[in-house]
Amino acid sequence: MTEKQLTSSAIPPRILGLTGGIGAGKSFVGRMLVEAGLPLMDSDAVARGAYTESALVRQQVIALLGAEVYDAEGKPRYDEIARKVFAPSDEGKSLLHRLEQIIHPYVSDRLETWAKAQHAPEGWVVLESAILWQSGFYRLCDAVAVVTAPESVRVSRVQERDEASREQVQARIDRQASYAFTALQQAHPELPLYQINNDGVQELEGQVAQLLSSLAAL
């Protein structure tokens, strides 16, 4: 074992938040970071798992939304959950907020436990999250990489991926928080922020290499 690995194993790894709007290519960049040796946790997958893996979460979700959000086999009915919490009403907004107060602490606890257990010779692990800012997960991070792309490119990518209409994709983009990089820098001066431009023109390998170099220097 090298001196670098010994040092890394003795110090809890730092957390790089990875986020970006729908269609920006966040998950693709995440795979590149994994190939570079950084362990990655997908917070969205952990949040989905919370409905079945935690008895406490299950009890709280049923108390909030009703037993009908689980099927006869105990599997979550995500369509029914979405129908309730994304209803265009004040009640829907309230239910979504209260559901997030159930799910987000579970994800935060899982992240902290997972991060401490990782062998991270580079000293960093990655938290991939579509709702890094809205959830408050960014507060767990030591730096954040924001994957961006022009809206027209994002719309085309999601149309092709999901076989959705332009109007459907645009509606999903409009519901998301803004990922304007300059605005994020101004809103979060406490965090080192890095931009990965995935516009399909600029190559990603060099940008990811520069990100890794910047992280190593922190």
What are the pLDDT digits (tens) for 54-112? 999 999 999 999 999 999 999 999 989 988 988 888 888 899 899 999 999 999 999 98
pLDDT of residue 9: 47
Q: Which residues, 6+ apart, have CB-to-CB distance to 164 below 8 Å?
A: 158
β-bridge pairing 193-197 and 143-148: parallel
pLDDT of residue 175: 62
**Which residues are bridge partners to 15 per DSSP?**
125
- For residue 69, CA distances in Å to 63, 101, 115 come to 10, 17, 31
| Residue recorded with tokens 């009915």 | 77
Lowest mean pLDDT among 87-91, 98-102, 157-161, 191-195: 157-161
CA dihedral 166, 168, 169, 175 (to 10 degrees): 140
Q: What is the mean pLDDT of the chain?
A: 88
pLDDT in tens, 196-208: 999 888 899 999 9
Q: What confidence category does residue 8 fall into, taking pLDDT thresholds of 50, 70 and 90?
A: very low
Domain ranges of the chain: 1-39+121-213, 45-117
The residue among 121, 117, 123, 114 whose CA lies nearest residue 43 is 114
- The sign of the CA dihedral 15, 145, 30, 52 is positive
Return the DSSP state at 137: G
Angle at 146 between CA 104 and CA 188, to 5 degrees: 70
Fold of 1-39+121-213: Rossmann fold (3.40.50)
Mean per-residue pLDDT for 131-157?
89
